[in-house]
Chain A
Amino acid sequence: MSMLQVSVYRYNPETDSAPYMQEFQVDTQGRDVMVLNVLAMIKEQDSSMAYRRSCREGVCGSDGMNMNGKNGLACITPLSEVVKGGKLTLRPLPGLPVIRDLVVDMALFYKQYERIQPYLQNDNPEPAIERLQSPEDRDKLDGLYECILCACCSTSCPSFWWNPDKFVGPAGLLQSYRFLADSRDEATSERLAELEDPFSVFRCRGIMNCVAVCPKGLNPTRAIGKIREMLLANAT
């Protein structure tokens, strides 16, 4: 028997006045399974355990959570990567209101995403075929469009913790730059005008927590730097 000790954040608004940590013993049979598998085993012990999951391969972004202190996706995080001293502690993503157990209310996160107008804007008449784009221009979108909106980055960012209503956050800014960088988008100056206030972009202090946790290996800090450069170029 190779028992893993798992400590999980529990909170059910209907029955609990305050959240608490619950201990589980999980038999992994010595296999290096993913954290999501461990959660499924816990749910078999206690069906009231709540967490989100969907694709179980790291592309849908459902199961972002805090594992032994670091945000990541449970489905692509093997135990060998996070477990220290035979113990695993699971908490919801920090900084967002908890609905139940590991499920957080992501409304603020989505609101910031919607605020940057995350869609291509181009009022020119559409050609009969596709709009042409050179491979070099298309390359500029690599490292940007792959975001899965898991919120691991934004919820590891202190600036987003303090001002989730005003600071767009790394995920939203990465998407903002994805459209600013798209050769087919024509709303550059409108997009920039929406960002030049002291909070939306400039609350980023460049501590790169977002880069450290991004499960897709993306770099929001670099994108934010590029937005600043564009704002500067636009205003001087």
Chain B
Amino acid sequence: MSGTDFDTHGGDLDVHGQVSVDEVELAEELAGAGITGTGATASADAAEYALRLGDDALMLAQQLGMWIARAPELEEDVALGNIGLDLIGHARSLLHYAGTASGRSEDDLAYWRDEPEWRNAWLFEQPNGDFAHTIARQLVAASYLVELYAALAESTDPTLAAIAAKAVKEVDYHRDHATQWTLRLAGGTEESRRRMVVAIADTWPYIDELFVDDELVERLAADRVAVLPSTLRPGFDAVLDAVMAEAELEPPTGRTAFVASGGGRRGSHTEHLGPLLAEMQVLARQHPGASW
């Protein structure tokens, strides 16, 4: 522990005192693990697309952060925290890029947009519920994100491609974490299985919205900037079917009943988003113009 021993009145103190910090290990953490590109400016369409993906990641991260110090095991405090951190990293990179089109920062976009300006899909604003609900949401979200980022890594937009190439490795781990827990909860006790079945039923209606194409993605996909969400569905279904089969769970029926319209991408949200934003934005909005 060189550098951490005490030298009470040493003249060579830096402003932080006698602490030894491993710069290499911290570099990534402090930078938020962000890829901010090569200073490229997003087109209006690419910015809108990045906003969708960034909002998905941020809303999920915001909710996973609530588990820290409340998880069923210390290992899960660490795991859910890690997953949330990865997602904040993705959100920061995506929102930074989205902001280049309008001269706004990641924080301008995160803290100073109201509900109708948010572009996340409904899945990502659904509450944590019990651990089974969090796991069901994670299973769907991570499985979708693996398909998305794997395909987006081939984007003709170099910034989006770089963000996706980094993110895909992380969401692959998130998917594994959710899969492992799905198997344990479904195959554990009667109680855990009952809860997992309810969670799957409650989560499934939010799947379809993730795979809806609209004019924006069609325009971007024509230039191979974005990925058409509908093309990700077969890969997603194959993975989910396999997990469900191993867990001996039946997919709920009638799952396309009420959210297939894809309201989130147009700024129409469930009642959960408002309180989430109110909590996230409250301090920043109390001090307009302040830096932190």
Asked if A and B are interacting partners, one says: no
